[in-house]
Structure 1
């Protein structure tokens, strides 16, 4: 239940961030907006870390270097979302984003990439993705 609430909150904030970033970008540019967003996100995360005082830094050395670039993906995510929202609107952008996420996680789960447990994908999963794609096509009409 708690995970579902965090997922819903994350989705809502991702949408709000995308809209806000698109507005900021219209005034100062997309990469400038991505820079500001990354910086304010860093400051917010640092403040929360200092308030929570979760001192689990020892495990840092055990993290595979490949996973440490995950934060850098955010710059590409922000740029892509801003550009997509400006060109096709919030609804279609979020719909396409969700389909993209589902398709990639489908591949990651089915192949067991990045250390996740392999999951067997069945017909219901294929039908679900197909329904989402059909929904985006309908939204676009």
Structure 2
């Protein structure tokens, strides 16, 4: 269980890091170019690592449901929407909403046993947990002072002054 928690924490930090990088790439090029670059470099990296780790089993796709093949297309939507969300909302607010949506849909899929998942009984505590997170996002975004420092333009630091 500890390993799973550590891997989940690492995944969360990597998603946030990737989102910042994607945003910076998007500043120099368009959203579709960013999405293409991100997914292409991800393909190259995962393909090479798969060959090193799994060898010829990389190409073993027996007993896979046909609809699982759309996963890559879903990834296009993920990257594109993240890049646009970051541009419109800023990194912290966008990621907060993404993670809350992810948690909510995971709860729905688990509770219903959809897409071949083992059905896990729904509990009101789980829903309450999601609502607490939503409340935290609302408090984060709209609570506090009236002047939002994130909206103010940032001055570039000058090394010659």
Is the shorter-chain TM-score for this pair beyond 0.5, marking a shared fold?
A: yes
Q: How do 1:97-108 residues align onto structure 2 when only pairs under 5 Å count? A: 97-108=98-109
* Gap regions ≥5 residues in structure 2: 143-161
SS of residue in 2 equivalent to 1:119: coil
> Judging changes above 3 Å, is the alpha-carbon distance between structure 1 residues 62 and 85 closer, same or farther for their aligned structure 2 residues?
same
Whole-angstrom CA distance in 1 between matches of 2:32 and 2:58? 31
TM-score by length of structure 2 reads 0.83
The 5-angstrom pairing of residues 35-54 of structure 1 reads: 35-54=36-55
**Residue equivalent to 1:120:** 121
Residue 56 of structure 1 deviates from its aligned partner by 2.8
Q: Which runs of 5+ in 1 are unaligned?
A: none
Match of 1:136 in 2: 137
Larger Rg: 2
Aligned 8 A contact 2:50 2:58 in 1? no
Output one character per residue of 1:34-74: Cα deviation in whole Å (capped at 9) or x when no partner.
00000000010011112213443575131011011112111
Q: Which residue of 1 aligns with 2:78?
A: 77
Structure 1 runs (4+) deviating above 2 angstroms are 53-59
SS of equivalent residue, structure 1 residue 60: coil
TM (norm. structure 1) is 0.94
Larger RCO, structure (CA 8 Å, separation 6 or more) = 1
The DSSP-based 3-state class of the residue aligned with 1:62 is coil
Question: SS where residue 53 of structure 1 aligns?
Answer: helix
Q: How many residues in Structure 1 have an aligned counterpart in Structure 2?
A: 141
Give the deviation of 1:137 after TM superposition. 0.5
